[in-house]
Structure 1
Amino acid sequence: MYGHSAAGQGQGHATAYVRMVPWDERPGDEETAPELVRQATDAFKQIKEAKVYAVNRSSIPSLGETGGFSFKLQDRSGHGYEALYEAREALIKAAGKSDALEDVRPSGDDEAPRLRVRIDRIKARALGLSIEEVNATLTMAFGSAYANDFTRGGRVLQVLLQADAPFRMQPQDVLALKVLDQQGEAVPFGAFPRSNGVPGLPSCSATTAIPP
């Protein structure tokens, strides 16, 4: 299931469910569900490009997804994200040394590379471009844009426009875009923006509802 996991939602999240064979076909102690979870966890630790966790579903349906408990770490003094991140990592490291805890992990997204694009509005207008057209070009290329509907097999499906994956993977792909000006001519995107890479969170949930 793409786009969703116990840690959050987004393009970098996914969940997979594994159907196990009946108990009488795996009689050994090394084939129990907890042991298979442990073996899978050890294997997943070798993956450097992603964080993958193996969990055993709750014994009681609808009572949690993975069992255990949830802990919320709050920045009540307003030290900022970096201080909160360091405190989280220190807490997880300390939990890993405890014999009473196992497989303690954070929820949510870690930092990931982001591209910040600053549009020179004055220069864009001087080139005969509208800011709406510039934003629409970015949205269509790196997000998606709704075009229309069509029917197939008795179902109404949407047509969404988006640049193919090889053409939206690198920062220079932004500068390769072209925007139509008021005369209908293509203007290279690199003629008016500035871009730079910055680290950051893909998404961040915040709340001011802190109980006393």
Structure 2
Amino acid sequence: PAVNHVVALVGLDFIQNANQTNAAIIFVNMKPWDQRTSRKDQINAVLGAVNGYLFGMRNARGFAFNLPEIIGLGTTAGLEMNLQDRGVNDVQRFAGFVNDFTREANGRPELRGVYSTLRVNTPQLYVQVDREKAKALGISLTDLFQTLQAFLSTLYINDFNLYGKTYRVQAEAQPKFRQTPEDIGRLYVRGPNQHMVPVSALTHTQFQAGPSVLTRFNGFTSALVIGAPAPGKSSGQMLDAVERLVQEKYAGQGVGYAFSGQSYQERASGGQGGLVFALGLVMVFLVLAAQYESWSIPFAVLLAVPFGTLGALLGVWLRGMPNDVYVQIGLIVVVGLAAKNAILIVEFANELRAQGRSIREAALEAGRERLRPILMTSFAFILGVAPLLASSGAGAASRHSIGTGVFFGMLVATTVGIFFIPLFFTVIRALSERGLARPLRESAAARQVAPAPATGD
């Protein structure tokens, strides 16, 4: 009921971008979001149900996946990892390592649906040429191989122009004459004195298993491994899990790895979120230092930020959601709003202190006077983002992430943080004034004990 259209292409390996007779791809177009009201009709539920059916097939291997969010950035959404043969030097052993890796990766709590595209058990027909016999009969090996290529594959001959278009000429036997191994023996190659010699007298055929497509990545024989993060796990945790698995168990056996697609882009840009967050805090500190003309008072404002951050992370953890990029965007919003609440109290306390109030009285009076406007503005914002927690529709997951972080972050920063801001101001302002007063007392004492200059007649 959730499917709108289906398009099937037989002979196309979409993942490896190769043409294979034993491969197929089905593109499934889902109905619009408003027509898929049931939970079982959502994309993740449909993928899980389809994969459950495909993994149970015995005569075929298949899996369902979602396209990448950014079209052209990789092939699938989720994990895109290339295991590389850097020292195994045997495709059969390498395939065994790949199968062991996918089996162990599926057992990790951070991953699900891990699947490899490497297959080394595809039936293949191996044609062995008796070179000694061919030479004894005076038959050129070049003519023999060209005969096999021309009839079994395609042999390029030339191009010709007709009606302003260029056409390619390729020789190939008709399909009905190249369907069984016996058809190879019915071919003939020209020998000495223009005699035709059957190919069956010069070759031996046998079936054997081998890889249907052998790909290379960065110069190494590779196997593409795809998968998805488990529910409640982020893509970063998924990548960390597969990296640990390779380094702990397979790196010493000659197996390396490299990411591609979205996984590569995430790893290339990973680790910058913390740096950007730290630079943002430094910028806020410098702006506050310029505003208050003090290097110490801004700390009273910045110390209110951890309450909002803790609340946001606690809310995400309670709802079992991953710490994704939307949560990090929400953290930046929480930092700004938590700092805003602290600025309201610290600014008013500074004015009262300048009027001659004690530090303790200024902090208590500022907390009482600014409590109402802080509660009004903060709860207006909290109630405004509350619908994001239970939103639905296309892109609802992103709204859940950013809404959860902002809602719980501001809730904790408002209900808990505002009671600590006066304390932070009192302690930091007292330490600041004590540090300034000490040099003043020392300079005053130095002037008092200094001897008076001698006066002469």
TM-score where L is the length of structure 2? 0.40
CA–CA distance in structure 2, aligned partners of residues 177 and 46 of structure 1: 43
Give per-residue Cα distances to partners, 1:40-66, cap 9 Å, x unaligned: 323333544443222111223333321
Match of 1:33 among 43, 67, 76: 43
CA–CA distance in structure 2, aligned partners of residues 171 and 46 of structure 1: 33
- The alpha-carbon deviation at position 72 of structure 1 amounts to 3.9
Give per-residue Cα distances to partners, 1:136-193, cap 9 Å, x unaligned: 1111222112245567886534343323334333333322222223444432111122
Give per-residue Cα distances to partners, 1:98-156, cap 9 Å, x unaligned: 33211101133433222332222332244342212211111122211224556788653
Q: Give the corresponding residue for 1:91.
A: 101
Give per-residue Cα distances to partners, 1:72-120, cap 9 Å, x unaligned: 4345554633332222212211222233211101133433222332222
How many pairs are equivalent?
Answer: 211
SS in 2 for 1:136: helix
Change (3 A) 1:199 1:22: same
Q: Give the corresponding residue for 2:137.
A: 127
- Residue 107 of structure 2 corresponds to residue 107 of structure 1: no
Higher helix share: 2
Change (3 A) 1:5 1:29: same
TM-score where L is the length of structure 1? 0.78
CA–CA distance in structure 2, aligned partners of residues 129 and 17 of structure 1: 50
Contact 2:85 2:220 survives alignment (8 Å): no
SS in 2 for 1:17: strand
Percent identity between the aligned chains? 25
Q: Give the corresponding residue for 1:42.
A: 52
When structure 1 is superposed on structure 2, of 127-136 and 147-156 the one drifting more is: 147-156
Q: Give the corresponding residue for 1:5.
A: 14
Larger radius of gyration: 2
RMSD after superposition: 3.2
Change (3 A) 1:79 1:162: closer
- Residue 171 of structure 2 corresponds to residue 173 of structure 1: no
When structure 1 is superposed on structure 2, of 144-153 and 20-29 the one drifting more is: 144-153
- The alpha-carbon deviation at position 39 of structure 1 amounts to 2.8
User: What residue ranges of structure 2 are gaps of 5+ in the alignment?
Assistant: 1-8, 222-255, 258-457
Contact 1:8 1:108 survives alignment (8 Å): no
Aligned AA (2:209): P
Match of 1:191 among 201, 205, 227: 201
CA–CA distance in structure 2, aligned partners of residues 20 and 155 of structure 1: 41
Aligned AA (1:96): N
Contact 2:118 2:211 survives alignment (8 Å): no
